[in-house]
Structure formats: C-alpha cells, structure tokens
Amino acid sequence: MKEIKLPFVLRLALILVSILAIGYLAKIGKGVLAPLFFSFLMALLFLPFANFLERKAKFSRTISTFSSLLVMLTFLSGLIYFFTVQLGDFANDFPTLKSQVFKSFEQLQVWVSHNFHVNFTKQMSYINQALEKVLSSTAVILGFTFSMFSSTMAFFVFSALFFIFLLNYRRILYGFIISVFHERHFYKVNDAILEIQKIIKIYISGLLIQILIVSILTSILLSILGVKYAILLGVLTGLLNVIPYVGVLIAGLMACLISFATGGNHTFFVLLGYIVIHIIDANIVLPLVVGSKVKINALFTFIGLLIGEELWGISGMFLSIPFLAILKIIFERIEGLEPWGKLLGEESKMNKIRRKYKITKKITLEEKE
C-alpha cells in the first residue's frame, strides 16, 4: 500500500485539531476519565499483589481482584477519615485563627511603626486589606476542600468499578493491545508492554514512598517546633509535594501562616525546615525512590499543571504529573517518538555516577536511573 505524504502545514493543522478535540473530550468527560485514570494507576500498583494471590494462595481471578479492592479502599477510607476529622477541627478553629492572624499582624505593625517611624494608620489599612484577601482565599480553599471531599463518594464509586474491570479483565486488554499490531512485531510489542508496566509500577511505588517520607519528616519537624495541626500539615505537605515546585511552596506558606498566627516565635525555623526537607527530598529521596528517567522538566511540569487544573480541577493537577511521566516512558520506547520523550525529560548528563548510601554492611541504597 502506497504511503500518503501530507504537507507539513496540513499535518500541523491535523495535530492541533486532534489535541483540541482530545482536550474537549477530556473536559466534558471529567467525571468518568479522572477516576478511570486513577483506577489505572491503582490497578498497576496492585497487580503484583493480585498475581501473588492467584499464584501462591490459589485465589480465583475474581477473589484476588476484590481482595485487592478491599485493601485499596481500606487505605483510602482511612486517609479520607483522617482528613475529615482534621479538617473538621481546623474549620471549628478557623474564626479563632483568623482573629489571631489579625492580632499578630497588628502587633508586628506596631513594632514596625515604632522602630521605622512608618505611618501606623495607613499601614494598618494596607495590612487589613491584604489579610482580608488572604483569609477570604483561605476560606474559599477550605470550602472547596470540603466540597471536594463531599464529592469523593462518587469518585470512589467510579474508581472502584473501573479498578475491578481493569484488574479482572487485564488479560483481555493485554490481548487487545497485542492484536492491534502485526504478528511479526509480537515480541517487540510484548517486551515494550512489560518494560513500560514495570517502570510505571516502580514510579508509582516510588511516588507513594516519597509522599510517606516527606509527610513523616514534616510532621516530626512541626511537632518539635510545636506548630498546631502538625500531622495534618505534614500529610498535606507530602501530598502537595507530588505537584513539583508549586506544592511545597503552598504547603510551606500554610505552615508558616499557622505558626505565625498561633503566636509561635519559630516561624523562621518552620520556613528553614521546609527548605531543608525540600533539599533532602530533591537530592536524596527522589533519586533513590523514583529516579531521573521519569522526571519531567520544569516547563512541561508547569504546562501540565495548568492544563490538568483547567480540565479536571485539583484532581487534574495531581494526576497530570503521573500522566506526563507515563507519556515520557511510552514515547522513549516507541520508534519514532523518542524525541518527544527527550523533550519532556530533564537534560541528560553524560557519564553521571549514581550515588550510593551504605546503611549497614549488607544494605546499600543506590540511586535509580
């Protein structure tokens, strides 16, 4: 069959139209596609567990699928319960927190006025206007958070259903992907699927470990400094850390604001602690548990966050990073798409030596590729 070559302008137009069409479909299908992609990630994560139950425990496919679902829902339900209780306490304390913020800033302004001879009345007017905007935004965010949790039930229901279908009918899906390509490409396609699946599982597992480590480090830091809601802020920091650059900044500002509002004289140490934790995460934790192969560069991370938020809201911001990482993995392993994979990634360093950390005589941790 003769290959038809289209002019560059026409090909570019078709690509742009396709991107817009996919974006429009993603926008109107938010209620289905967001839980579907989340379920896909969870199914990949629980696939080894389901295979273990089938091979070692001799469970049927259905029982292993529902066992995996039970474990996933137990974990997610515990997380939702934790946030519901913690956010409920925070909502009850919010009026007091608001008054404490105004009082703390007023005391700060008195000190500034006395030492630097600044007009107190004008400065207080500016401060009050700024604080009203900040606190009203905080209230909006808090209200949005509650509305997000109120709609979590529908998200969970769809996610659970998709999780069952994806895990239970995984061999049918695998067979479909294989059958799409010509028989002579079977081994190549099969190897690519297995490699992509392996790397994605490692990436998702590493992401969860990273969240856990950052949450623990932050909770310990804030507890030592005596910051209120230390555990809540620690877990939020771990989750927001999934969103590169922006997430840790938002979490750090929240912690500093609460520390300052509750009369703490250690706000500077909170800020310093967040900087140290971020340095540890970026230079030690991330290379050890995730690696650089799936790391997305800052430009496309920012673009992905904006597009994800526009299409699917807050869930889109969280899911955009794994989505881009999966695209990068797929592009790098399909002939003809390798340049797109390089475009999404960081600049490669020639002959980079992976660092090793010796824990004990028998245990040594090495950075992933």
pLDDT digits (tens, 9 = 90+) for 26-35: 888 888 888 8
Are 321 and 359 in a shared domain? yes
End-to-end CA distance of the chain: 41
Q: Look up the domain containing 224 and give its range.
A: 201-369
CA angle 72, 290, 288 (to 5 degrees): 120
Predicted confidence at residue 164, as pLDDT, reads 92
For residue 185, being part of any structural domain is answered with no
For residue 186, being part of any structural domain is answered with no
* Selection from 72-86, 283-297, 343-357 with the highest mean pLDDT: 72-86
Task: Say yes or no to pLDDT of 308 above 60.
Answer: yes
- Retrieve residue 111's tokens: 């000190």
Could you give the number of structural domains in the chain?
A: 2
What values do phi and psi take at 356, rounded to 5? -120, 145
| Rounded (to 5) percent helix, strand, coil in the chain | 80, 0, 15
Predicted confidence at residue 162, as pLDDT, reads 92
For residue 188, being part of any structural domain is answered with no
Over residues 355-360, mean pLDDT: 59
Are 369 and 231 in a shared domain? yes
| Residue 232 to residue 219: CA distance in whole angstroms | 8
- Retrieve residue 364's tokens: 């040594």
| Residue 303 to residue 19: CA distance in whole angstroms | 14
Are 241 and 293 in a shared domain? yes
For residue 353, being part of any structural domain is answered with yes
For residue 189, being part of any structural domain is answered with no
For residue 111, being part of any structural domain is answered with no
| Residue 338 to residue 245: CA distance in whole angstroms | 26
Please tell me the pTM assigned to this model.
Answer: 0.73
What percentage of the chain exceeds 90 in pLDDT? 12
CB 354 within 8 A of CB 278: no
For residue 99, being part of any structural domain is answered with no
Are 172 and 318 in a shared domain? no
Q: pLDDT tens-digit profile of 135-177?
A: 555 555 555 455 555 556 777 788 889 999 999 898 888 888 8
| Residue 302 to residue 315: CA distance in whole angstroms | 15
Are 268 and 328 in a shared domain? yes
Q: pLDDT tens-digit profile of 252-285?
A: 888 888 887 776 678 889 999 999 999 988 888 8
| Residue 137 to residue 163: CA distance in whole angstroms | 36
CB 43 within 8 A of CB 173: no
For residue 44, being part of any structural domain is answered with yes
CB 258 within 8 A of CB 233: yes
